[in-house]
């Protein structure tokens, strides 16, 4: 049997991992100093070197966070702390000379929670397809995205708030500098992230600080959305209000507080907009990633962008009660309200399902709008996918192709699907051989893209890039993978006329 890579020499010291079936996993390599004490709310600093061989055989702490953003099993059984700036590497290489492509994974969680080593993200399967997988932790919530005038004044760049993005950039620079020792190719690094991780990828390809650090990018269910950008001044005002809430007169007092107090004071209430997220600060982000991506002012690399059928993120209509749903529809569609109700077959009994369908179409329309503009100005191929394979429980309950459902297919971790949810109620999904085959195909598309900037290879259904004259996407479903030009055109035309 082929051997793993063994001990790796890096600029900071030597590391040893754990080998399994010729793949070596290095857990918890530090890419920056612990952001504690005076380094709380400062840009990440280079890690300290060490003597001898560092045993990287356990995952390190996830960023301390409030509950509700990650599976309850991980939240309750995974240690947490501010000392969280570590990364993990799955490498199939046997030597540093192999120069294999690298997938740089950024987890989601609304910029409030999550961790890079959650079981559904494990990189064994993609590594078996010839790709190094790197997963990272980064600062979250107020620890990662607190802006304040005093923080901006102490910064050499006159800004504050994007510490979580700066962590991601520091990890990316670390990979660019060190990955060759693990058998990786520093010139073939594909960014990949889902939800807030996908938004992070959109931010990174829009940032002037990442030029030359990546060769391709994948945005999963985190496509750019108009109207979400927050300015530095808005973020600083949020920071001023947090200090007042905590009765802190200055940053020194804030930095001296136990982190649990900061977490409690900054925890969003149910239904509140997320306050702690990336800011357009003029340094890390010069403009709204939505505008940058729509206009092609991004890294000139191949892209994959897509979403899932039943997630409907950021749609401007909804409501828990029928009367609230109707009010939101009338406010948007006005004289065309009846057209909307007829197209979506809305009744008081099924309005929640109809709402999900309309939100699904809105999300699809949003991505197509952005990609239509991008395809006219971006010089590299852009591939769109639409994941429609539903989660169906053993008792027949239809859950749908929900937010995050595609991750189990990309990472080939179907065996842990439903095992842990943010609500703490495990699900038991029904799985078939066709779904495992879909997972294998999706892993091949992703690994091909990391290798060549093109997801295609013999034996897979063809995936054509977008063009300004032929909008098309790859529909991912266990019954069959196929190319489509659009979905529900009559519904999309109505949405397009009002949104």
Q: Which residues are catalytic?
A: 195, 311, 403
> Is 206 in contact with 287 (CB distance < 8 Å)?
yes
Q: Write down the number of H helices and E strands in the chain.
A: 16, 18
**Cα separation of 322 and 352, whole Å?**
8
Residue 319 half-sphere exposure, CB side, CA atoms within 13 Å? 16
What is the b/e burial string over 345-357, where b = at least 16 CB atoms within 10 angstroms of the residue's CB?
ebeeeebeebbbb
Closest CA to 190 of 455, 442, 479: 455
Which residues share a beta bridge with 100?
A: 184
> Is 123 in contact with 103 (CB distance < 8 Å)?
yes
Largest Cα separation within the chain, whole Å, is 73
DSSP 185-226: EEEEEEEEEETHHHHHHHHHHH-GGGTTS-SEEEEES----T
**Cα separation of 107 and 191, whole Å?**
11
Cα 116 off chain centre by = 10
**Cα separation of 327 and 488, whole Å?**
24
From residue 320, alpha-carbon distances to 7, 327, 349 in Å are: 55, 12, 12
**Cα separation of 116 and 134, whole Å?**
9
> Is 455 in contact with 446 (CB distance < 8 Å)?
yes
First to last CA, the chain: 57
> Is 31 in contact with 170 (CB distance < 8 Å)?
yes
**Cα separation of 319 and 351, whole Å?**
10
> Is 109 in contact with 121 (CB distance < 8 Å)?
no
């Amino acid at each position: 049997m082929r051997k793993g890579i063994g001990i790796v020499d890096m600029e900071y010291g030597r590391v040893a991992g754990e080998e399994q079936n010729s793949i070596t996993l290095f857990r918890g390599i530090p890419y920056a100093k612990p952001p504690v004490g005076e380094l709380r709310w400062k840009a990440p600093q280079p890690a300290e070197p060490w003597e001898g061989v560092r045993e990287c055989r356990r995952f390190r702490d996830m960023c301390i966070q409030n509950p509700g953003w990650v599976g309850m099993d991980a939240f309750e059984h995974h240690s947490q702390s501010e000392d969280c700036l570590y990364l993990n590497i799955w490498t199939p290489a046997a030597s540093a000379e192999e120069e294999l492509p690298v997938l740089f994974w950024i987890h989601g969680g609304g910029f409030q929670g999550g961790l890079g080593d959650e079981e559904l993200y494990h990189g064994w399967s993609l590594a078996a397809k010839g790709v190094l997988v790197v997963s990272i932790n980064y600062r979250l919530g107020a620890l990662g995205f607190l802006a304040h005038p005093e923080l901006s004044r102490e910064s050499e760049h006159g800004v504050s708030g994007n510490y979580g993005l700066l962590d991601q950039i520091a990890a990316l620079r670390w990979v660019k500098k060190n990955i060759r020792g693990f058998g990786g190719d520093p010139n073939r690094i594909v960014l990949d992230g889902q939800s807030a991780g996908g938004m992070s990828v959109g931010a990174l390809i829009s940032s002037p600080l990442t030029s030359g650090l990546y060769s391709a990018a994948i945005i999963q269910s985190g496509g750019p959305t108009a109207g979400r950008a927050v300015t530095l001044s808005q973020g600083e005002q949020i920071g001023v209000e947090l200090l007042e809430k905590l009765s802190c007169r200055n940053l020194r007092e804030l930095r001296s507080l136990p982190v649990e107090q900061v977490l409690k004071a900054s925890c969003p209430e149910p239904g509140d907009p997320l306050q702690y997220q990336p800011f357009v600060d003029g340094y890390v982000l010069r403009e709204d990633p939505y505008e940058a991506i729509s206009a092609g002012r991004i890294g000139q690399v191949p892209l994959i962008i897509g979403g899932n059928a039943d997630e409907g993120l950021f749609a401007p209509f909804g409501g828990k009660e029928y009367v609230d749903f109707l009010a939101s529809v009338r406010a948007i569609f006005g004289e065309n309200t009846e057209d909307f109700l007829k197209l979506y077959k809305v009744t008081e009994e099924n309005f929640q399902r109809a709402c999900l369908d309309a939100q699904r179409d809105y999300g699809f329309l949003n991505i197509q709008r952005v990609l239509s503009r991008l395809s006219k100005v971006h010089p590299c191929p852009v591939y769109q996918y639409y994941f429609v394979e539903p989660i169906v429980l053993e008792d027949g309950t239809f859950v749908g192709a929900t937010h995050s459902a595609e991750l189990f297919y990309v990472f080939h971790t179907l065996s842990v699907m439903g095992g842990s949810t943010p609500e703490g109620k495990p699900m038991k999904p029904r799985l078939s051989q066709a779904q495992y085959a879909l997972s294998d195909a999706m892993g091949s598309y992703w690994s091909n893209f990391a290798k060549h900037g093109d997801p295609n290879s013999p034996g897979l259904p063809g995936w054509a890039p977008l063009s300004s004259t032929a909008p098309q996407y790859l529909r991912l479903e266990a019954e069959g993978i196929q190319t489509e030009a659009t979905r529900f055109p009559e519904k999309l035309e109505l949405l397009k006329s009002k949104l």
